[in-house]
């Protein structure tokens, strides 16, 4: 098979790396790809991953069989629809189905229609009524901008004062632009978060492992929300009993609901969950693509071939594919630019990549790097690298990942030193 991966982050590097190992693969291309991905894929930095016509031209020229779409924005814009109309197999949902992520309000209404457990919520189009609602409630709550805001449009509030400030930012100052035309005010859920990944062709489901992300910038879950500072899999909070409930109460009802409403969901459904002390799972949010950085440990720990799963989901033949096998545990530590998620410097030299790349059971995925004129790697983004290790246990994988991290240097490098600590403190 000849495969195209759309996107340029650590997630897409991990996807291309894993796809390239398939015995069934003949070629891997990436649009636009990134500097680190060149080792596993032919990158097309001049092409725009959201330009369907440019992608179709490449698909024809290179006789590509499958397009795997990494990020949510092109899915929400209808890229998978356009490819399928042209007869090209695409991994990822239609624009209508992608509303599970692209409109939080639509997703909340969908969950209400299908009795899928989630936080109680109210929706507001105007600031005055949103303010009234917050003042009347005056307890902990969560305020969210409705549209896509790159994971940053959410404020978890302790009281009304904080919630009013969040409303002000979103609706009056329009910090997230049009994404803030509408807000959702939710009950604040308590418990432990986990990310659950179900690959589906609309009807059949296979699950990878459950993972845990670390969204805050600093150790101890302090500091600002980021795209994710590290992740590990499997997440022990999702034991067999909890997993069964996630499937029965959330994943299957979601897929059935999408079929009933005329928008069958295909691709990967990534459910962000809060699991309370009694093991009750509730949906925090849906995502319609793989998580980043979660995909990095998920794929490094996946022993079996990923390609048949992606292809089976794209073609509606997932039933025929053997279930995936995840071995041991994997931990990914994100090395970020100093200052991230706020302003940071770019173009700083990265040292140690070669030696660390040669370590066994370690893979360094690139997210924000580029090559300078001399052909050396320099920083070019907030999240620079995802240093990912695989071992028999979370503890060993974590030690190995941090050993690798200590061999990589760039000025101002910042990473959390407590990735996977929650899994270890459980014992």
- The footprint of ligand AMP (CB under 6 A) covers 119, 142, 144, 151, 154, 156, 186, 188-189, 193, 215, 272, 284-285
* H/E segment holding residue 18: helix 10-20
> Tokens 């009234």 sit at which residue?
132
Report the residue from 12, 65, 292, 311 that binds ligand GLY according to the rule CB under 6 A: 292
| Closer residue to ligand AMP in complex, CB, 154/391 | 154
Q: Is 78 helix (H, G, I), strand (E, B) or coil?
A: coil
* H/E segment holding residue 66: strand 66-69
Answer with the entry of ligand AMP, ligand GLY, none that 414 interacts with (C-beta below 5 to 8 A by kind). Answer: none
CB of 308 to ligand GLY, least distance (A): 24
Rounded-to-integer distance, Cα 137 and Cα 186, Å: 11
| Closer residue to ligand AMP in complex, CB, 181/327 | 181
Answer with the entry of ligand AMP, ligand GLY, none that 287 interacts with (C-beta below 5 to 8 A by kind). Answer: ligand GLY
Tokens of 61: 């020229």
Answer with the entry of ligand AMP, ligand GLY, none that 156 interacts with (C-beta below 5 to 8 A by kind). Answer: ligand AMP
Query: Rg for the chain (alpha carbons), in Å?
Result: 21
| Closer residue to ligand AMP in complex, CB, 177/412 | 177
Rounded-to-integer distance, Cα 202 and Cα 172, Å: 40
> What does DSSP say about strands 267-275 and 192-200: parallel, antiparallel, or unpaired?
antiparallel
Question: Does 225 interact with ligand GLY (rule: CB under 6 A)?
Answer: no
CB of 225 to ligand AMP, least distance (A): 6
| Closer residue to ligand GLY in complex, CB, 152/315 | 152
Question: Does 287 interact with ligand GLY (rule: CB under 6 A)?
Answer: yes
CB of 74 to ligand AMP, least distance (A): 19
Site for ligand GLY in 130-169 (CB under 6 A): 151
Residues 6+ apart with CB under 8 A from 244: none
Q: Is 154 helix (H, G, I), strand (E, B) or coil?
A: strand
φ, ψ of residue 74 in degrees (nearest 5): -65, -30
CB of 286 to ligand GLY, least distance (A): 11
Q: Please work out, in degrees rounded to the nearest 5, the angle formed at the alpha carbon of residue 105 by the alpha carbons of 101 and 108.
A: 85
**Interface with ligand GLY by CB under 6 A: which residues?**
151, 213, 228, 287, 291-292, 294
């Amino acid at each position: 098979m000849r495969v195209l991966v759309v996107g340029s982050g650590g997630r897409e590097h991990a996807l291309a790396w894993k796809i390239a190992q398939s015995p069934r693969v003949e070629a891997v291309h990436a649009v636009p790809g990134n500097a680190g991905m060149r080792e596993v894929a032919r990158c097309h930095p001049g092409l725009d991953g959201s330009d369907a016509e440019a992608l179709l031209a490449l698909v024809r020229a290179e006789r590509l069989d499958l397009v795997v779409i990494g990020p949510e924005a092109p899915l929400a814009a209808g890229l998978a629809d356009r490819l399928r109309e042209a007869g090209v197999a695409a991994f990822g949902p239609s624009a209508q189905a992608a509303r599970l992520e692209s409109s939080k309000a639509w997703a909340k209404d969908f969950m209400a229609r299908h009795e899928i457990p989630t936080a109680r919520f109210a929706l507001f189009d105007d600031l005055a009524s949103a303010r009234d609602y917050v003042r009347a409630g005056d307890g902990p709550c969560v305020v969210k901008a409705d549209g896509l805001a790159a994971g940053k449009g959410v404020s978890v509030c302790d009281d009304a004062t904080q919630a009013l400030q969040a409303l002000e930012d979103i609706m009056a100052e329009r910090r997230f632009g049009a994404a803030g035309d509408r807000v959702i005010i939710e009950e604040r859920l308590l418990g432990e978060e986990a990310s659950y990944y179900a690959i589906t062709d609309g009807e059949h489901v296979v699950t990878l492992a459950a993972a845990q992300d670390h969204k805050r910038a600093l150790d101890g879950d302090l500091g600002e929300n980021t795209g994710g500072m590290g992740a590990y899999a499997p997440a022990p909070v999702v034991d067999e009993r909890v997993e069964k409930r996630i499937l029965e109460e959330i994943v299957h009802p979601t897929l059935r609901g999408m079929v009933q409403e005329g928008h069958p969901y295909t691709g990967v459904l990534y459910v962000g969950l809060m699991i309370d002390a009694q093991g009750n799972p509730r949906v925090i949010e849906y995502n319609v693509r793989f998580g980043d950085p979660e995909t990095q440990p998920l794929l490094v720990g996946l022993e079996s071939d990923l390609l048949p799963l992606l292809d089976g989901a794209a073609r509606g033949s997932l039933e025929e594919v053997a279930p995936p096998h995840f071995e041991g545990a994997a931990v990914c530590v994100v090395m970020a630019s100093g200052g991230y998620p706020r302003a940071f410097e770019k173009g700083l030299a990265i040292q140690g990549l070669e030696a660390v790349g040669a370590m066994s059971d370690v893979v360094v995925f690139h997210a924000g790097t580029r090559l300078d004129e001399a052909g050396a790697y320099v920083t070019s983004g907030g999240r620079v690298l995802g240093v990912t290790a695989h071992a028999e246990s979370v503890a060993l994988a974590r030690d190995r990942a941090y050993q690798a991290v200590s061999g990589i240097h760039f000025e101002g490098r910042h990473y959390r030193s407590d990735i996977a600590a929650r899994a270890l403190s459980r014992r």
